[in-house]
Structure 1
Amino acid sequence: MGYLKRGSKISAVAGGGSAALFYYVYKELPGNPVLASSIGIVGSAALTGMMGSRYLRTRKVVPAGVVSMVSLVMTGAYLHGIIRSS
């Protein structure tokens, strides 16, 4: 959306990179859940940190607050997956 609204190439690259990372995690989960969850937890934690700091700076719920909360939940879900698979 950042690219469509304001022409931000950084938003397009970051969004596309995140989507590619999480698509890889999605495809890898059935065959190698520990590796996929490990990659997912790193990506989710990074998104939580980046978007959480943006939310604290701007106080805008959409998109920074929503993305940071969903990423925080997914970080917990990936951690749960690692613990359960080990």
Structure 2
Amino acid sequence: MAWSMSQKLTIAYAGLLGVGGLMGYVKSGSSMSLISGGLSASVLCYVHTQLPTNPTFASSVGLGISAVLLFAMGARFKKSGKIFPAGVVSVVSLVMAGGYLHGILRSSHA
């Protein structure tokens, strides 16, 4: 079965977070980056699998992950002013949160 655009974006987002967490660990020894990136990526992989069959639930979980990352990394960007990784993850999380919110609204009207 072909993936929907939501699934493609979700798996790309999961990949970004997973690789970012691994990079944070390798570059600065941050086990928190590894754990949070890996956990976020794992949950988003689950969201990816649930989008076709349970879009409202999956989009709600994705929205939760995106919102947490938006606020956490947004605060980190505001504090450090560093575009990468905090600024990039904040912007991507904002876009994904909007996409998941759209999915929730669309599914509730179907």
Instruction: Give runs of ≥4 in structure 1 deviating > 4 Å.
Output: none
> Per-residue displacement from partner, 1:34-70 (whole Å, max 9, x unpaired)?
0000000000000000000000000000110000000
Matched, 1:22 2:44: yes
Q: How many pairs are equivalent? A: 86
Q: Does 1:43 align with 2:65?
A: yes
From 74, 83, 92, the counterpart of 1:61: 83
Tell me the SS of whatever aligns to 1:31. Answer: coil
> CA–CA distance in 2 between the matches of 1:77 and 1:6?
32
TM-score, structure 2 as length reference: 0.77
TM-score by length of 1: 0.98
C-alpha separation between the residues in 2 aligned to 1:84 and 1:6? 41
Pairwise CA RMSD: 0.5
Where does structure 1 lack aligned partners over 5 or more consecutive residues?
A: none
Equivalent position of 1:84 in the other structure: 106
Q: Say which of 13, 28, 31 aligns to 1:6.
A: 28
Report % sequence identity: 56
